Amino acid sequence: MSSDDDMPLARANGHLSADKISKAEDRAMDIDSDVELLPAPLSIRHGPIDDDDDAPLVNGHGKRKSRSSTGNVNYNESDGEARRSTKRQRKAVADDSDSDVPIKNKIRAKLPPAAEETAVAEDSDDDIPLNRKLVNKRKSIDKAAEKEAKALAKKPTPKKAAKEESDDDDEPLAGAKGRRRSVNGTNGKAKTNGVKKEDSDSDTPMRKKPKTATPKATPKAAVKAAAKATPKGKVKAEPATSGKKAAAKKVKKELSEDPADAEDDDEEEHRWWEQAKSDDSVKWLKLEHNGVLFPPEYEVLPKSVKLLYDGKPVNLHVDAEEVAGFFGAMLNSTHNVENPVFQKNFFTDFKDVLKRTGGAKDQQGNKVDIKDFAKLDFQRIFDYYQGKSEAKKARSKDEKAAEKAEKDKLEAPFMFCKWDGRKEKVGNFRVEPPGLFRGRGEHPKTGKVKLRVTPEQITINIGKDAQVPRPPDGHKWKTVQHDNKATWLAMWQENINGAYKYVMLGAQSTVKGQADLKKFEKARELKKHIGKIRKDYERDLKADAMADRQRATAVYLIDKFALRAGNEKDAENEAETVGCCSLKFEHVTLREPNTVIFDFLGKDSIRFYDEVTVDRQVFKNLRVFKKSPKKEGDDIFDRLTTSQLNKHLSNYMPGLTAKVFRTYNASFTMQKLLNEVKNEDRTIAEKIKLYNDCNREVAILCNHKRTVGASHEAQMEKLGDRIRGLKYQVWRNKQMMLDLDSKLKKKKGAAFFELEADLDEAWILEHQTFLVEEQRTKIQKKFEKDNQKLQEGGEKIMPDKELKERLKDADELAKKFKKENKSKKVEAEGKAPTVDKIEANVKKIEERIRTLELQAADRDGNKEVALGTSKINYIDPRLTVVFANKFNVPIEKFFSKTLREKFHWAIKSVGEDNSWQF
């Protein structure tokens, strides 16, 4: 009978690796020691890419093509003005379908930018290659982490915490004497380590979890600083019990139906981050809410609006008409409606609805057999809904305000709940309306009909003593339960994938804040163990056991390149996305001497390309894992699963999973970079750019990058035009100074009054035309707005003659520019102009130019980095608060109103302290 250790521990998918690696095989896979290795570890080309007919060859085989959803992902982080400019300039985007371009060049053009093309916070003006500098930087940060881990390990820990930690922390997992070798974190016996896998980011109900060592919510220094920063009499910290009693008195009144009432309540701030919670399995003691808001019922189409089949209108049952309307309303979404899979799934469901509702009939009442999708014509339906949309946009200001007030009144009862006597904002209280499922990437179920959710499908979770929300007339809830270990208020199962949908509290709620704090504290806890984890996996990279070597290689890739662990998928019902543990033979290409190319469908079904340099041993291991007879479709890590990997990691630290590395690496790196920043005299704009530079470097060093957005060039061009426009203003103002005092040219020098090099005559003429047209548009809009006010007030509107009179100002501006171009002189403008006034104005405009130039440099540097994602999800928000305190920058410059509410706990817990460390 074979030992459990000799059995493959992963899914049996294709050829399996041998359970042991012989020394001869190990030597055969080695790299020539004379070959100079590339700097490692480093991502040298990384990001999502557009896929089309010309896919790169992987291991000599044509890679399965995937329909990239990159086009659907909005990476735009710019303001509204830049977005508008993108629309105007869409026609300027080059068509890459030119058949004369070599295929190899086309493929190259589609790949993400290389590391040396990526902007880094630090300017490189020496002879050290950028890639080498990045690797050196990364290694210095890793060394600092190891040093800090050793220092933390020397500190005495409380006895309680020591009991809850594994007793084997100082013993190699694979080499413990006196017991069986642990493979992938599991022994022969099905024994658990007492730690349940946690996923604070998921939408699943939070069930009871085993008790773990409770981390301190806030360092003492930070709490003291926060208390010190609070003015006397403003917020008084009280014991938890008295706080609850005070809150209990206030909740006797009914739930407010007006969100404003909830915000204006004089409730004392709940400083939950200052209260140690011994048992976090019980989420609430009292819970009241008003249930969910259902979407409006379907409005039947006018009799004149019909679906056409084979050119003839057909009559449908109301249910079938609604489904036809789903498709007809989205004809402008060509990415979906022209997708064959989308069409096939829709048509299958549409025919099922027709069959259930009696089918389609012609105008004479005869049955029409709809069996060919190509004969369906939804144009009339599309035109009807487009007309409704245009009419909605054209409503008057008062009509829009009245409709908004009605909508707010309808939603008000659902916006807040009472959670242990406190008012908390509910996040997603609306039941999703019926429609067509789109999915992400190449989802096999895209186009299927999402059915209308009824109260009979919905489970309500509420306090035992609370009044149960009343369902719509004629309906009843599926069940009502009182589970105080769950954080959701309502749930139901959708019909497409059988997934459960949950109504949860908003991002700024206490329970969400606690989950965020727990996530970042877990990452801080990893600081104590990172040194040992890295030491162990570096040792196991050379292990004889295949399972140990695969596990060590996977942890290396997750730690160094922020690869997601990955989970197995049901390929027939889910998009086949990939992570580290589920990589297949065709997803990894090896290029001598030590470059690894990952190419697969990643999170959100986006095809991801990651070209990295790895350490010598890791490259050799991947050669072993891909060794013949393995072929396409076979798993690379065939003796490792995500659950086994996380089980292994939890032996180092309770609750440690692969995704904690992303948070730890990002936050620790950000901390080290911010510590290097000197507090010098800088403008607010310069300080913001400095912060973004650090954030950007975190993304590069921790491999959190993206492709350049399609609209980036248009945005940069728009910003460049704004800068040039201001430079033109500066030049005109300086010419006005000469108009007032011609001797200034001698005093200040001719160079002071010269035109900037990037302002040529052609651009100036184009800009002047733009300024004249801009003024015409403003005058036109002002005239229309004034007339609308007169009409709403019952007064007589102004005639067109008045508009013509007003437009003369634009004509005068055009004449002025023409005169200036001819004479090369600019007359001083304004009331009683003086040289001092105009010079002061020049300085103001030049300051605006500097600010915009910083923004342009920042935006261009961010083109491969989604700063918002790393700032919100991976970098501890307390680091941002500390930076704001240290450099005296308003927190509003880094966090929007929504983020300030989400990270309220971080802002308050740090207070005015600028010494808090991750």
Which region holds residue 895: left if phi is over 0, alpha if psi is between -120 and 50, else beta? beta
Identify which of 858, 846, 844 has the alpha carbon closest to the alpha carbon of residue 688. Answer: 858
Beta strands in 713-788 (DSSP E): none
Distance between CA atoms of residues 650 and 655, nearest Å: 6
Identify which of 319, 381, 310 has the alpha carbon closest to the alpha carbon of residue 354. Answer: 319
Half-sphere exposure in the Cβ direction for 688 (13 Å, CA): 20
Distance between CA atoms of residues 18 and 235, nearest Å: 64
For residue 38, give Cα distances in angstroms to 31, 35, 44, 327, 686.
Answer: 13, 9, 10, 52, 35
Instruction: Classify strands 57-58 and 61-62 as parallel, antiparallel or unpaired.
Output: antiparallel
Residues with a catalytic annotation lie at: 874
For residue 252, give Cα distances in angstroms to 159, 245, 247, 470.
Answer: 43, 12, 9, 20
Residue 740 makes CB contacts below 8 A (sequence gap 6+) with 828, 833, 834, 835, 838
Identify which of 571, 497, 574, 442 has the alpha carbon closest to the alpha carbon of residue 11. Answer: 571
Tokens 């604070």 identify what position? Answer: 200
Judge whether 595 and 611 are in contact, CB under 8 Å.
yes
* Cis bond upstream, residue 41 (ω within 30): yes
For residue 809, give Cα distances in angstroms to 686, 774, 780, 828.
Answer: 39, 12, 12, 17
| CA angle, 261 then 263 then 269, to 5° | 130
Instruction: Classify strands 312-314 and 360-361 as parallel, antiparallel or unpaired.
Output: unpaired
Give the DSSP letter of residue 188: S
Distance between CA atoms of residues 666 and 696, nearest Å: 11
Q: Hey, which residues does 313 pair with through a beta bridge?
A: 308
